[in-house]
Structure 1
Amino acid sequence: MKAVVIHDFGPVGSAPVEDIATPEPGRGEVLVRIAAVAANFVDTLVLTGKYQFLPQRPFTPGKLPVGTVEAVGPDVADIKVGDRVLTLAEHGGYAEAISVGADQCILLPDTLSFPDAASMALAYDTAWFALMERARLEKGNTVLVLGATGAVGLAAMQLARAKGCRVLAGISSAKKTDLVRKAGADELIDLSGDNLRDSLREQVHSATDGRGADIIVDALGGDFFDAALRALAWRGRLVVIGFASGRIPEVKANYLLLKNIEVSGLQISDYRKRMPELMRQCFVDIFSLYERGAIAAAPPTIFTLSDYHVALTGLLERRIAGRAVICP
């Protein structure tokens, strides 16, 4: 089978596509013929050796591929040949097939296509854990999403809206207005103006009758985090999911105390390893919302395996609308 193989870390595109042996499913494992896998920003960190969790080389990158079960190993009871599944694999997705534990497979709804399933993977589960587990979202909360036009940001807005919350979208360009409105934004928060430290809070307070946001999901960090912290409501919760702006911010603990607010972080890979049953519950909820029409996958732009570097470069240069999906 063909697979992207990392022998040495290097620039995006330096890992070759090679012919390697198709894996054999071991005890408790299944062989999945991969139909689609999302190209994610985290993959660029893996390829360059900058990600915090890296397997021994050589290895194949690619998280949470989807496909059809082609063979089952001994002691597999709940998954059968022909099942359409999402795998919770941490790597191995940039390939034509993968062998994974049967307990790491989640059945896909019949109505969910493979490209759409790949489009949702790693974005909707990250957003779900940020909102439901870390921020303890409740119906009626006001949720501000920073980095609203990214994959996780769009997913977070859809999920928050589906759960009965009011959604504020932090955007830096008016060109993104239609995109975030379609994802469920009730109000827009302009992040491009002068004096962000004051203007962000003023806009959020204006949109919430002076209360502030109950929950803030922050993928930007830097000055955006600093400003957002001041826009939290009493007992508000801010969840850090990334630092796209570059600077890793700091917070003075006395400010948390004075406002009775919380700041927490989310590393989604840890949940797949430590709490797989909660991860399964997450996807069951996501797929249920999808089948009810409450959420929708971001439109995928399809790439071949040999063009994986084109997909990742497009992500880095922000030239891809929706999600970049590789279909081996």
Structure 2
Amino acid sequence: MNVYNDGKWGSYRYLPLGTCTSIAVWHAHINIMTRGDLSSFRWIEGNLDPQSLQLESGEVLSHIYYSSLNFKDVMTATARLPLELDRHLNLHYIGVEFSGRDQEGQRVMGIVNSGALATVVCVDKTFLWDVPDHWTLEDAATVPLVYATAYYALEMIGQMKEGDTVLIHSGTGGVGQAAINICLHAGCAVYTTVGTKEKRDFIKKQYPQLTDCNIGNSRDTSFEQLIMTETNGRGVDLVLNSLSEEKLQASIRCLAPRGRFLEIGKFDLIGNNTIGMEVFLKGVSFHGVMLDAVFVGSYEMKKTLHDVVAQGISAGVVQPLPRTVFPHSKVEQAFRYMTTGKHIGKVLVQIRQEEDNKVVVPVPRLMKAYPQYFCNPSYSYIIAGGLGGFGLELAGWLVLRGARKLVLSSRSGVKTGYQSFLMRIWRSYGATVIISLANITTKSGVRALLSEANRLAQVDAIFNLAMVLRDAVLENQTEADFVTSAGPKALATCHLDELSRQMCPHLRHFVVFSSLSCGRGYAGQTNYGMNNSVMERICEARVRDGLPGLAVQWGAVGDVGLLAEVQEKQQGIGGTLP
């Protein structure tokens, strides 16, 4: 018992950190915490806030009722698809297709580049379609992505015309059925492949125009012989392919002279697999169909695709597909079912129940989700010691979390090319970065720092990472060493605490980076440990006063920061046991 606090004696102890508690949030999305482990799906708090939501020009907010799974989602979840930028946040946004209601209560369906397996989503209105009155929202969720993909591949890229012969692989899949509908309506001769007798029977029942002579096996290359026999050796004008490896090679050989090969699968493209050049002697063309490209394409391309799908809906070509529906609590089971390849049509996740009325302003759907930290792009964030190794990492993390106004305090300013490089990266995200040379060991310097940040925007968070080491065994320590070490730690935190109470009335976070030298002690770091302890006591006082205050005791950090910089030789730094 060596700590006297609030009239009681006690001691400080390290306790295990409890598991994260889920909270009810307006915007939640599905995230896979460990890629390749389907049991690690979790609902995670999203970054959309109804109080501060700012839509981009041409964007619409949609409340999601049903989200549809597709093979891009499966490949992302099973670690077979390379990650995008969000890997830095350990966020793997899943879902590109949905149905729901807009803010006026109109029923809509649409596609986004990612993040549709969620409660709400911001969507470009050129990728949004009204739901016909005779469809349910469950019907609508089976439509937009598969028909957009099929129209984009067959008409916009493949230039399909009446009388063409078309081979459509995986005919019972979502894109397969959409493509068959489109081709039959356009007056094309259709051949398709399936993997089981059940799926063959489904095709013949769903499309009476197709007989066994039009249906091949997708599990081997025997479809090549079928195609060449039925076309008298000519081949087909278009192949819509989702098969891989030797089945892809066989599909290429099925092309007629001047045929067009439309590759919608990603396996061979990601694997950089090769094809023989001899086939191009027939004047054929090979197209990698990436619907992702449309999202960053011209407005004219987006509008063309939107109009083609809308015309298909009006003409009755676009029809809802068979589907299997899972509740939002069984996302793992939905993915496992889809990976078996047994499904016919689409696999949907239901987020909420559809109302009876056609037009209903949706009540917010609160979802239990794990909380996440996000920054407000309209506020400013102060990092004392922001140009050190640890500070640069924190600044980058804040930018990825949404911060767009940073004030980095540093004694020496920008001195290295790496610091300049990172600031260019952050500014490419639209962030404003100010370097403050104010002396935070003085009250006037901290006042200048906070004034600088307030001129930029209201301060949302303050982080103190600054430090100076004056290590020596106790008998060799001097008063000057203690004073120098106290400056960026104890004194700066004291000034930040006092002045932020006056100058930052809406402060959401006050965070100091402490050290295990305070909690456990390291030889030669008595002064450093003491000053970290002062910071922790300041945070305790802030919490007692109802203000934000958090101290994090870090162990040795080997990748970046002072320890990594001062070591001239190769080093290995181990972790710290609890």
Per the normalisation by structure 1, the TM-score is 0.84
Partner Cα distance (2:194, 2:61) in 1: 42
Question: Which residue is equivalent to 2:62?
Answer: 32
Partner Cα distance (1:260, 1:290) in 2: 34
Distance apart, 1:273 and its partner CA: 2.0
Encode CA deviations 1:210-266: one digit per residue, 9 max, x unaligned. Answer: 321111111002111222222211111111111669987522223212x11112111
CA contact (8 A) 2:170 2:218 kept: no
Partner Cα distance (2:236, 2:272) in 1: 22
CA contact (8 A) 1:41 1:312 kept: no
Structure 1 position 297 matched with structure 2 position 320: yes
Taking only aligned residues, the RMSD between alpha carbons, in angstroms, comes to 2.8
Match of 2:278 among 232, 254, 260: 254
Q: Is 233-242 or 55-64 further displaced after alignment?
A: 55-64
Structure 1 position 209 matched with structure 2 position 239: no
Question: Which residue is equivalent to 2:99?
Answer: 66
Match of 2:141 among 107, 112, 118: 118
Distance apart, 1:289 and its partner CA: 2.7
Partner Cα distance (1:266, 1:192) in 2: 20
Q: How does 1:71-82 map to 2 (within 5 A)?
A: 81-82=104-105
Encode CA deviations 1:7-62: one digit per residue, 9 max, x unaligned. Answer: 55341231312455753431434321111110112112223454345242336421
**Matched position secondary structure for 2:292:** helix
When residues 118 and 201 of structure 1 are mapped into structure 2, their CA distance, relative to the original with a 3 A threshold, is same
Question: Which residue is equivalent to 2:157?
Answer: 134
Partner Cα distance (1:164, 1:147) in 2: 20
Gaps of 5+ in 1: 71-80
Aligned residues: 314
**Matched position secondary structure for 1:274:** coil
What amino acid is the match of 2:293? Answer: D
Encode CA deviations 1:103-159: one digit per residue, 9 max, x unaligned. Answer: 553333333322222112322211212211221111110001122222212221111
When residues 321 and 102 of structure 1 are mapped into structure 2, their CA distance, relative to the original with a 3 A threshold, is closer
Q: How does 1:200-239 map to 2 (within 5 A)?
A: 200-239=223-262
When residues 23 and 277 of structure 1 are mapped into structure 2, their CA distance, relative to the original with a 3 A threshold, is farther
**Matched position secondary structure for 1:44:** helix
Partner Cα distance (1:44, 1:202) in 2: 31
**Matched position secondary structure for 1:220:** coil
CA contact (8 A) 2:143 2:318 kept: no
**Matched position secondary structure for 1:320:** coil
Partner Cα distance (1:42, 1:150) in 2: 14
Match of 1:16 among 39, 42, 49: 42
When residues 51 and 23 of structure 1 are mapped into structure 2, their CA distance, relative to the original with a 3 A threshold, is farther
Match of 1:165 among 188, 191, 209: 188
When residues 15 and 185 of structure 1 are mapped into structure 2, their CA distance, relative to the original with a 3 A threshold, is same
CA contact (8 A) 1:85 1:107 kept: yes
Q: Is 175-184 or 140-149 further displaced after alignment?
A: 175-184
**Matched position secondary structure for 1:263:** strand
CA contact (8 A) 2:63 2:102 kept: yes
Q: Is 43-52 or 146-155 further displaced after alignment?
A: 43-52
CA contact (8 A) 2:32 2:38 kept: no
Partner Cα distance (2:134, 2:180) in 1: 22
Partner Cα distance (1:13, 1:41) in 2: 18
Partner Cα distance (1:296, 1:250) in 2: 36
Match of 1:145 among 161, 168, 174: 168
Question: Which residue is equivalent to 1:96?
Answer: 119
When residues 243 and 224 of structure 1 are mapped into structure 2, their CA distance, relative to the original with a 3 A threshold, is farther
Distance apart, 1:169 and its partner CA: 1.1
When residues 42 and 229 of structure 1 are mapped into structure 2, their CA distance, relative to the original with a 3 A threshold, is same
Distance apart, 1:188 and its partner CA: 2.4
CA contact (8 A) 2:172 2:345 kept: no
Question: Which residue is equivalent to 1:76?
Answer: none
**Matched position secondary structure for 1:309:** helix
Q: Is 22-31 or 136-145 further displaced after alignment?
A: 22-31
Gaps of 5+ in 2: 1-25, 352-578
Match of 1:286 among 284, 309, 316: 309
When residues 161 and 244 of structure 1 are mapped into structure 2, their CA distance, relative to the original with a 3 A threshold, is farther
What amino acid is the match of 1:253? Answer: M
CA contact (8 A) 1:5 1:17 kept: yes
**Matched position secondary structure for 2:39:** coil
Question: Which residue is equivalent to 2:71?
Answer: 41
CA contact (8 A) 1:149 1:171 kept: yes
Distance apart, 1:170 and its partner CA: 2.1
Q: Is 59-68 or 133-142 further displaced after alignment?
A: 59-68
Partner Cα distance (2:112, 2:81) in 1: 16
Per the normalisation by structure 2, the TM-score is 0.50
Partner Cα distance (2:178, 2:137) in 1: 18
Match of 1:190 among 201, 216, 228: 216
Partner Cα distance (2:272, 2:201) in 1: 30
When residues 308 and 284 of structure 1 are mapped into structure 2, their CA distance, relative to the original with a 3 A threshold, is farther
Q: Which has the larger radius of gyration?
A: 2
